[in-house]
Chain A
Amino acid sequence: MDYRTFRKQLCRLTDRSADDADALTEGLARIIRESCADLDSVAIPRFGTFVPVKHEEEVITDLSTGKRMLVPPEINVEFHPGAMLTKRLRNE
């Protein structure tokens, strides 16, 4: 499901306009970005947690060329589904 379809269903579900849905979605994305940039997790009950994981710089070896590379640090956002969501997805 792409975002357009998702937004359409969401607007129908919440009885809101597309602009309102976009504004709220953009606000949610902004909060998640800011929190993860500060390495803070965002917990959604019955759904899951967005967890930022920071990887420090490291030296890796390119297997194809055999040369060593110094990779800069990086923050990845992981999603840890909650127990309710996991249980439901397994039962479906």
Chain B
Amino acid sequence: MNNTVTFSQLITRLAKVAGTDTNTSRLYLRSFFALIEETLAKGEDVTIDGIGTFRRHSTDDAFAPDSGISFIPDKTLADEINAPFAVFEPVELAEGVDFSGLDTPSPAPAEEILSEPVRVQEPVAIVEEEEIQEEETREEDIRQEEVTVTQAPAAAPVSAPQPRRPQWPEEAEKEPEEAAVSQPEPVEDEADDEYYEEEESERPKTLRWIIYGALGVIAVAAVAYFAAVVVQPIPTFGDDEEEAAAADSVATVVEEIEVEEASAAAAPGQTEPQSEETRPTETAAQTKTEPPSAPAADAKKQEVYDTIKPGYFMAQMARKHYGNAPFWVYIYEANTDVIRNPNRLSNGTKLRIPDKSTFPGATDAEKLKLAIEKQTQLNKKFD
């Protein structure tokens, strides 16, 4: 339908119909139409049985077509082409018949219309089959629009399209019953199904993202706990501000001690009487306190231990036990069997705290100087 039969197809078909070969058909067709053309060029009409009449119009004819030629189909040709419509005849319409819906016929089934007694209804059915397909495509478009635009479950139901169909007198009586039977309104259900399918497909996505978020939070918390509790960052001495402040305080203490010793050496006379005065008392006190000093010495001999805790390392231990942080080096030396790297300590490590009297150096200032020097060496060694 709506195709074009080409000349080669025409030759093949003619050869088949007439029982000749294609060359014969080709030559005949060329001669046939060339003769028509020649005749028309002479200004004559050509009538061919079974095909029609080619009429040549003069240039003076006001109703002539632009091409100057018209074609009147032969009656046999016209009758055979219109054979499917031969059963129909022009019908005189009674007054009051409404044809307002004829241009947009209803999507009613073709069988229903064919059963009508009016003779004109068969071609109407042929036309309506095409219209039905268009109507169905429109309905599908409407469904898709409803689903996409109204994103609410309680959306207004899609109303079934109200078909416009010609109101035949007999048919108008049957209309309510047929409408009740033949309109199950499947459109609304399908639209709802599509909506709920979309909603159900969205739920797992949301749940999945919630689970991912929760797992991420748990992972971050675990990493933070591990970093804060299990692996303690050990402050390196001499690097941070706290260590610098401690070193300054140590330097000031050392200077004060040196100043006191220098002043004591510069004024021996003044201090000696006092010392002499105090000596008997001191000796007396020593003699008096000697018996209790023995158990105290025993107590001092008892070894002292301390444990590494979060935020409590050897420097803090040294400050606690000796008053100055740089003495941590002696704690480290006393526990080299337990500690390999002073920058890497593990919580719960029990360290022995050596007695301060065992530190090298005569005075506190010398001990502190030596401790700082040793601390510098260790920092160079382990950094």
Residues of B within 8 A of A69 (CB): 90-93
B196 at the interface (CB under 8 A from A): no
- Write the residues of chain B forming the contact surface with A, with a CB cutoff of 8 angstroms: 1-7, 10, 13-14, 17-20, 25, 27-29, 31-37, 39-52, 54, 56, 67-71, 73-74, 76-78, 80-85, 88-93, 99, 102, 120, 123-124, 127
Is the interface on chain A under 10, 10 to 19, 20 to 34, or 35 or more residues? 35 or more
Task: Please determine whether B45 and A43 come into contact, CB atoms closer than 8 angstroms.
Answer: no
A residues within 8 A CB of B91? 69-70
The contact string, 1 if C-beta is below 8 Å from chain B, for chain A 48-76, is: 01101000110100000001111111111
In the complex, A35→B13 CA distance in Å? Answer: 11
Beta-carbon contacts of A1-41 to B below 8 Å, as 1s and 0s? Answer: 11100100110011010000101111111111101111111
A-B contact pairs, 8 of them (CB 8 A): A26-B50, A27-B18, A40-B3, A40-B4, A57-B123, A72-B85, A77-B77, A79-B52
* Contact between chains at A14 and B81 (CB < 8 Å): no
CB < 8 Å neighbour of A89 from B35, B67, B89, B92: B67
Cα–Cα distance between A75 and B86 once the two chains are bound (Å): 11
* Residues of chain A at the chain B interface (Cβ within 8 Å): 1-3, 6, 9-10, 13-14, 16, 21, 23-33, 35-47, 49-50, 52, 56-57, 59, 67-81, 85-86, 88-90, 92
- The reply to whether A72 and B90 form a contact with Cβ atoms under 8 Å apart is yes
Q: Of A13, A23, A41, A50, which one neighbours B35 at CB under 8 angstroms? A: A13
A48 to chain B, nearest CB (A): 8
- Given contacts A6-B47, A27-B14, A85-B69, list 8 more A-B pairs with CB under 8 A: A24-B32, A25-B49, A37-B81, A39-B2, A77-B71, A81-B67, A92-B41, A92-B43
CB proximity of A55 to chain B, nearest CB, Å: 10
Give the dominant DSSP class at A's interface.
mixed
Q: Take A28-B29, A57-B120, A86-B68 as given contacts and tell me if A37 and B80 are in contact as well, using a CB distance cutoff of 8 Å.
A: yes
Write the nearest CB–CB distance from B106 to chain A, whole angstroms: 16
Q: Are B17 and A30 in contact (CB under 8 A)?
A: yes
A30 contacts across to B, CB distance below 8 A? 17, 50
**B28 touching A24, Cβ below 8 Å:** yes
A16 to chain B, nearest CB (A): 7
When distances are taken between beta carbons in the complex, the residues of chain B under 8 Å from A33 are 50, 76-77, 80-81
Q: Is the CB of B36 within 8 A of A59?
A: no
Q: Which residues of chain A are within 8 angstroms of B102 by Cβ–Cβ distance? A: 59
CB contact under 8 A between A6 and B5, given known A32-B77, A57-B123, A59-B93 = no
Complex contact A23–B18 (CB within 8 A): yes
- CB neighbours (8 Å) of B5 from chain A are 31, 35, 40-43
When the two chains form their complex, are residues B4 and A41 in contact, meaning their CB atoms are under 8 A apart? yes
B249 to chain A, nearest CB (A): 109
A16/B28 in contact, CB under 8 A: yes
Shortest C-beta distance, A63 to chain B (Å), equals 14
Roughly how many angstroms separate A92 CA and B7 CA in the complex, as a whole number? 26
A23 to chain B, nearest CB (A): 5
User: Complex formed: what's the CA distance from A59 to B49 in Å?
Assistant: 33
User: Which of A25, A38, A90 contacts B48, CB < 8 Å?
Assistant: A25
| Min CB gap A82→B, angstroms | 9
Given A24-B20, A36-B81, A72:B123 Cβ within 8 A: yes
Most central of A56, A81, A92 by chain B CB within 10 Å: A81
Task: Return chain B residues, CB-CB under 8 Å to A56.
Answer: 123, 127
| B93 A44 Cβ-Cβ under 8 A | no
Which residues of the partner chain A approach B89 to less than 8 Å between Cβ atoms?
72
Report the separation of the CA atoms of residues A70 and B217 in the bound assembly, to the nearest whole angstrom: 79
Is B93 a contact of A40 with CB atoms below 8 Å? no
A44 and B68 contact, Cβ closer than 8 Å, known pairs A69-B92, A72-B120, A77-B77:
no
Smallest Cβ-Cβ distance to A32: which chain B residue: B51
Determine the chain B residues whose CB is within 8 A of the CB of A38 once the complex forms.
1, 3
Asked whether B37 lies within 8 Å of A85 as measured between CB atoms, the reply is yes
Q: Which residues of B lie under 8 Å from residue A75 when comparing CB positions?
A: 81-82, 85
